[in-house]
Amino acid sequence: MESELFASGARYVIGCDEVGRGAIAGPVAVGLCAVDVRLTEGSRMPEGLRDSKMLSEPRREAIAPLARQWALHSAVGLASAEEVDRLGITACLGLAGKRALAELHAAGLAILESVILLDGHHDWLNPALTTPLTVRTRTKADRDCGSVAAASVIAKVHRDRLMIAADAELP
């Protein structure tokens, strides 16, 4: 999928996936993983990279730093449980995604020259933004697209670490 997007003129592809959407506690997290045309020119995706739900916790922990190294940039945005209660889950996915995009922008990534490849069938990101971005949705992208799988693993490891730390205070 990324190769097709590069062939159609995208400078960057930003894989996007959320974690914690169905959780009863903690924040919702949106991971972003930006890749460029090197992906189609021999850059090696980390071995074993796939949807975070298909990996054991130790395997996710091992692959997450490799996924970060493989990406040009990656980021995780969060929306708190309180924000979810107040605004709703869909709005908070957009809010967390917007926060992660701000990190990528601050790192120098040309967001407007990118295509965001969002896992799922609904674009929940653009309604949260003041400037619409090019978003392509794809069901099972976290399983089929390297950039989205990387975003999935990075976000899951980030959120899991927060939840493990929270367990010490609120078992």
Query: pLDDT of 54-64, one tens digit each?
Result: 888 999 999 99
For 86-106, the pLDDT digits (tens) are: 999 999 999 999 999 999 999
Residue burial 34-73, b: 16+ Cβ < 10 Å; e: rest: bbbbebeeeeebbeebbbbeebeeeebeebbebbbebbbb
At residue 89, what is the residue type? I
Least confident segment among 39-43, 44-48, 150-154: 39-43
Q: Answer yes or no: pTM beyond 0.75.
A: yes
Q: What is the pLDDT of residue 60?
A: 93
% of the chain surpassing 70 pLDDT: 97
Sheet containing strand 28-35, edge to edge, reads: 73-79, 28-35, 12-19, 114-119, 134-138
